[in-house]
Chains A and B, each alone.
Chain A
Amino acid sequence: MIAKEAVEQAAYEIMFKAGIDIPDDYLAGIKKMASAEDGDLSAFVLEAMLENYEAAKEDRRPMCADTGVPRYYVKAGNEAKLEGGFIALEESLRSATARATHDIPLRPNRVHPLWRTDHNNNIGINAPEIEYSFEPDADWVDITTVHKGGLFGTDYRMLFPGDGIDGIKRFFLDGMIAFGKRGLACQPAIVGVGLGGSKDTCMVLGKQAACLRTVGDRNPDPKIAALELELQELGNSIGMGAMGFVGKSMVVDCHIEVGYTHTGGMPMSLHAFCLSSRRATVRLHADGRKEFRTDPNWFTPYMRRETVSWEMPASAKRSA
């Protein structure tokens, strides 16, 4: 049984880690881009950001004051038992959000869309979002939080099968150029692409691809993996770098996730995470242990299954 109090405390702790500590995979990606950047201003910006990550860690203050709209991704093992069930879990996540907003502090960004009511704790109707997935043969619960800004860098388009890979590239370029100017996409960023599903699924998949996969991770389908690298290269060939200055640092990595879609369409969504890619995960075990990490490991083989029933392939058993 995973105690309710343990859930609340762990969620509170990952809020600090996400807001303050830049994940190692992303940091390494930015360092690599900084050393390769030949645009003077873009290089200056990347150096300043590297300094900023250090300052955040040293001072234990958020790396960016736009601490985004904090949200959670919960992956529950099929055998996991939660004290008080999922209603208690949701209460814990809301409580942790409110406490962390004051204690870190995070910016209380969440307001009612019409009345602009601000509870000053990032809690409200449908806030924070909590998304769920499940994992077979496991008794743990993973909780991931992501702090991502919300105004720019995301778009959706209904493409058609006839548009093909060219249509994907065209929309990718359109989005990168439009949001990249003046650096509104807060690039270089991890760019997530959702392909397929219905419109809402397409948006969700792209967002998760941007926020829940690490730099260097590749889609298990080799052709999709190749397209990820191709889009990354395309983004970095626009001639634009950090803050929209002349350069080549746009896309730290590109992640594509797919969902079976309507036979007549090929919906696509595009999501740029930001220069402060903030995510942190905790695994809560039934025996009370908790383990922190920065790789959410969200897209498991089970998540990407194609068949009616699930039987874990031998090749995937090691990661369980």
Chain B
Amino acid sequence: MGNARERKTVRLKTPVSDADLAGLELGDVVYLDGLIYTAREGVYKKVLQDGEAPPVDFADLTNVNFHCSPAAAVEADGSLRVSAVTATASFRFSKWMKDWFAASGAKLIVGKGGMSEEDYKNLFVPAGAVYLTTVGYGTGALLGRGIKNVRAAHWLDELGIAQAMWVLEVEKFGPLLVESDLQGNSLFERNNREINAGIEKLYEGLKKPSLQRYGETDDREQELI
């Protein structure tokens, strides 16, 4: 096997500092300690579109936004139980990110699948933010282990378990991989470019389809996200 065990590993305390982020290189392994919160389209829509005040003061809380819906339950006594957590695909939230960075001061987005290099350059770099991707997907049990306490679940009734804003106290929360850096480079796209170089050869010798179909593309380098 490759040198899977030799990756540079970093533990970051939240809220993360600009210096923390400057030290991150694509492919580094990160574990988080401190507070993180979940927010995805339900929360974004409430705050950014409907103009509702966020239920927390982000400046006092944390600058780490996790794109996640936990496997969680609300007990009869109202207590909250989170078991496993994995991220949800982030590129769907691209349209919210510019305003979210401004509204929340988020510096670290943790999610699944990353965003496009274009989004990093246009949205993340100006905000001084970095993207960490969960691994797998997903290491739900390992990430669940890293959650030491559920501090709150805001908007649980209105948004439901999956979309509510969960505030989580975490310890050694990971593994996560650095997918974008402060220059807006993407680990996924770097890998895509390498893989794309070999794609044409896979189709060599295969005859063309007997019918062209609407919506089909022959451009194998195009990424359909």
User: Once the chains bind, are A48 and B135 in contact (CB under 8 Å)?
Assistant: yes
Closest to A116 in B: B160
Interface string of B142-169 (1 = CB under 8 A from A): 1111000000000000001110000000
Which residues, 13 to 56 on A, are CB-close (under 8 Å) to B? 34-49, 51-53, 55-56
User: Once the chains bind, are B210 and A163 in contact (CB under 8 Å)?
Assistant: yes
User: Once the chains bind, are B142 and A51 in contact (CB under 8 Å)?
Assistant: yes
From A43, A170, A238, contact of B209 by CB (8 A):
A170
Of B2-10, B15-23, B48-56, B120-128, the one touching chain A? B2-10
CA distance A49 to B83 in the complex (A): 17
Interface string of B208-224 (1 = CB under 8 A from A): 01110100000010011
Closest to B221 in A: A177
Given A104-B83, A163-B210: A65 and B191 interface contact (C-beta under 8 Å): no
Of B57-65, B96-104, B196-204, the one touching chain A? B196-204
Count residues on chain A whose CB falls below 8 Å from chain B CBs: 75
CA distance A275 to B144 in the complex (A): 17
User: Once the chains bind, are A109 and B84 in contact (CB under 8 Å)?
Assistant: no
User: Once the chains bind, are A66 and B88 in contact (CB under 8 Å)?
Assistant: yes
User: Once the chains bind, are A40 and B3 in contact (CB under 8 Å)?
Assistant: yes
User: Once the chains bind, are B83 and A105 in contact (CB under 8 Å)?
Assistant: yes
From B3, B114, B140, B145, contact of A276 by CB (8 A):
B140
Given A51-B142, A64-B84, A151-B89: A120 and B70 interface contact (C-beta under 8 Å): no
Residue numbers in B under 8 Å from A105 (CB-CB): 71-73, 81, 83
User: Once the chains bind, are A177 and B199 in contact (CB under 8 Å)?
Assistant: yes
Residue numbers in A under 8 Å from B73 (CB-CB): 101-103, 105
CA distance A173 to B220 in the complex (A): 10
Q: In the complex, how many angstroms separate the beta carbon of A37 from the nearest chain B beta carbon? A: 6
From B1, B7, B139, B220, contact of A51 by CB (8 A):
B139
From B2, B88, B140, B191, contact of A244 by CB (8 A):
B191
Given A40-B4, A160-B211, A244-B191: A49 and B139 interface contact (C-beta under 8 Å): yes
Given A48-B139, A55-B145, A173-B203: A108 and B194 interface contact (C-beta under 8 Å): no
CA distance A243 to B111 in the complex (A): 13
Q: In the complex, how many angstroms separate the beta carbon of B72 from the nearest chain A beta carbon? A: 6
Residue numbers in B under 8 Å from A52 (CB-CB): 136, 138-142
User: Once the chains bind, are A120 and B202 in contact (CB under 8 Å)?
Assistant: no
Residue numbers in A under 8 Å from B224 (CB-CB): 178
Closest to A161 in B: B210
Residue numbers in A under 8 Å from B143 (CB-CB): 65
Q: In the complex, how many angstroms separate the beta carbon of B40 from the nearest chain A beta carbon? A: 13
Residue numbers in A under 8 Å from B136 (CB-CB): 45, 48-49, 52, 64, 183, 186, 242-243, 275-276
CA distance A173 to B81 in the complex (A): 42
User: Once the chains bind, are A120 and B160 in contact (CB under 8 Å)?
Assistant: yes
B175 contacts the other chain (CB 8 A):
yes
Residue numbers in A under 8 Å from B209 (CB-CB): 159, 163, 167, 170
CA distance A61 to B144 in the complex (A): 8
Residue numbers in A under 8 Å from B194 (CB-CB): 239, 246
Residue numbers in B under 8 Å from A166 (CB-CB): 206-207
CA distance A273 to B206 in the complex (A): 26
User: Once the chains bind, are B2 and A39 in contact (CB under 8 Å)?
Assistant: yes
Residue numbers in A under 8 Å from B161 (CB-CB): 107-108, 118, 120
A220 contacts the other chain (CB 8 A):
no
A219 contacts the other chain (CB 8 A):
no
Residue numbers in A under 8 Å from B199 (CB-CB): 177, 238-239
Q: Which of B192, B199, B202 has the most CB atoms of chain A within a 10 A radius of its CB?
A: B202
A204 contacts the other chain (CB 8 A):
no
Q: In the complex, how many angstroms separate the beta carbon of A194 from the nearest chain B beta carbon? A: 18
CA distance A65 to B63 in the complex (A): 23
CA distance A249 to B141 in the complex (A): 22
User: Once the chains bind, are A56 and B140 in contact (CB under 8 Å)?
Assistant: yes
Residue numbers in B under 8 Å from A36 (CB-CB): 1
User: Once the chains bind, are A183 and B113 in contact (CB under 8 Å)?
Assistant: yes
A181 contacts the other chain (CB 8 A):
yes
CA distance A170 to B199 in the complex (A): 12
User: Once the chains bind, are A181 and B160 in contact (CB under 8 Å)?
Assistant: no
Q: List 28 A-B contacts (CB under 8 A).
A: A37-B1, A37-B2, A41-B187, A42-B2, A44-B4, A44-B7, A49-B136, A52-B141, A59-B145, A61-B141, A62-B140, A64-B136, A65-B68, A66-B69, A67-B84, A104-B83, A105-B81, A105-B83, A107-B162, A118-B162, A120-B161, A182-B225, A184-B89, A238-B195, A238-B198, A239-B198, A243-B136, A246-B194
What residues of chain A have their CB less than 8 Å away from a CB belonging to chain B? Answer: 34-49, 51-53, 55-56, 59, 61-67, 101-109, 118, 120, 151-152, 157-160, 162-164, 166-167, 169-170, 173-174, 177-178, 181-184, 186, 234, 237-240, 242-246, 274-276
Known pairs A66-B137, A245-B187. 14 more at Cβ < 8 A?
A: A42-B2, A43-B2, A44-B177, A51-B142, A52-B142, A62-B83, A64-B140, A66-B69, A67-B84, A105-B81, A160-B210, A174-B220, A181-B225, A238-B199
